[in-house]
Structure 1
């Protein structure tokens, strides 16, 4: 799947460069951006098609959008292959609407989500985003604000999507001694 997306992104980038060589970024830069756009579009489309088939289109859309918006500012774990990411993400987006959340669990899950975001966000973001590290504290603030807003929305789908995304923030780094 990676090769397929890579080939498509490369073809589009070359065509864009040929169409406007002066005002476009390098082919490599456009290819990198297009790869992400194509991959995210495929993931989103897969989840929405399955959600539609299961009669949960709107709920799946809310789950996917919630997960992705928090992920954009908080970062998180990245699978080794695009296919693994697509399958996991689609599964999560489609499954969330079927998980019941009572009032007690709503507060517990939101509290845990807030704690995870406060401790770990942004996580694993350096290699995946082209923004200066001076903005990383702002990403944490935005992540916290999103979780607080989810409390106000009192929507179990948003709550679960944010929680699962917050779990991907957890990193276990092995310290290597310099001696």
Structure 2
């Protein structure tokens, strides 16, 4: 049992004993508390790494865009939430630092390259999304279609945000976060759960 699961179980016991809830509702509350704790831990780690690396805005933008797309597109999964948290923190910190360096060294003199990358992402989404996992299979064709449409809409919205945003670091960070998330859709990363 990991740290967040242990805390969520203790909090669940306190809450459910007071409310006298059945075991199904206890399980739902435990799941919600664990996800909230993991989210807060993830954001906190990104903020700390962002402050330490002096790339806070770039890291948070990359994580927000990549994370929001992940909610509807799916992608590669680790077998524990803590592994996902550590890997995600490392990846989004790296993306944020890289985005900042790319802007500093003027590797993107215009937004044309960002539009090309987003076009590649759109193709990947159309061909691959949504990607489910063994632990969370998507059985409904209707639900799959909705997730694909939401993923496509998200990429289109990212195009619009990049077009309207004057801050190049924001745009580069957003596109790199989206691109990383699209890479996790590739079949090579989804043959089975990552150990």
Distance 2:24 2:12 in 1: 9
- After TM superposition, give the deviation of residue 131 of structure 1 in Å: 9.6
1:141 to 139, 145, 149: 149
Pair 1:163 & 2:179 matched: yes
**How has the CA–CA distance of structure 1 residues 9 and 147 changed in structure 2, closer, same or farther, with 3 Å as cutoff?**
same
1:65 aligned partner: 64
State the SS of the aligned residue for 2:9: helix
- Greater CA drift, 3-12 or 21-30: 21-30
- Greater CA drift, 53-62 or 7-16: 53-62
- Greater CA drift, 39-48 or 120-129: 120-129
1:145-169 superposed Cα distances (whole Å, 9 cap, x missing partner): 1111111222111111011011111
- After TM superposition, give the deviation of residue 129 of structure 1 in Å: 8.0
- After TM superposition, give the deviation of residue 126 of structure 1 in Å: 7.1
**How has the CA–CA distance of structure 1 residues 109 and 85 changed in structure 2, closer, same or farther, with 3 Å as cutoff?**
same
- Counting matched residue pairs gives 173
Provide the alpha-carbon RMSD of the alignment.
Answer: 2.6
Distance 1:130 1:16 in 2: 31
Distance 1:27 1:133 in 2: 30
In 2, are the aligned partners of 1:73 and 1:122 still within 8 Å (CA)? yes
1:106 aligned partner: 114
In 2, are the aligned partners of 1:17 and 1:24 still within 8 Å (CA)? no
- After TM superposition, give the deviation of residue 51 of structure 1 in Å: 0.3
2:165 aligned partner: none
State the SS of the aligned residue for 1:127: coil
- After TM superposition, give the deviation of residue 104 of structure 1 in Å: 4.3
- RCO comparison, higher one (Cα < 8 Å, 6+): 2
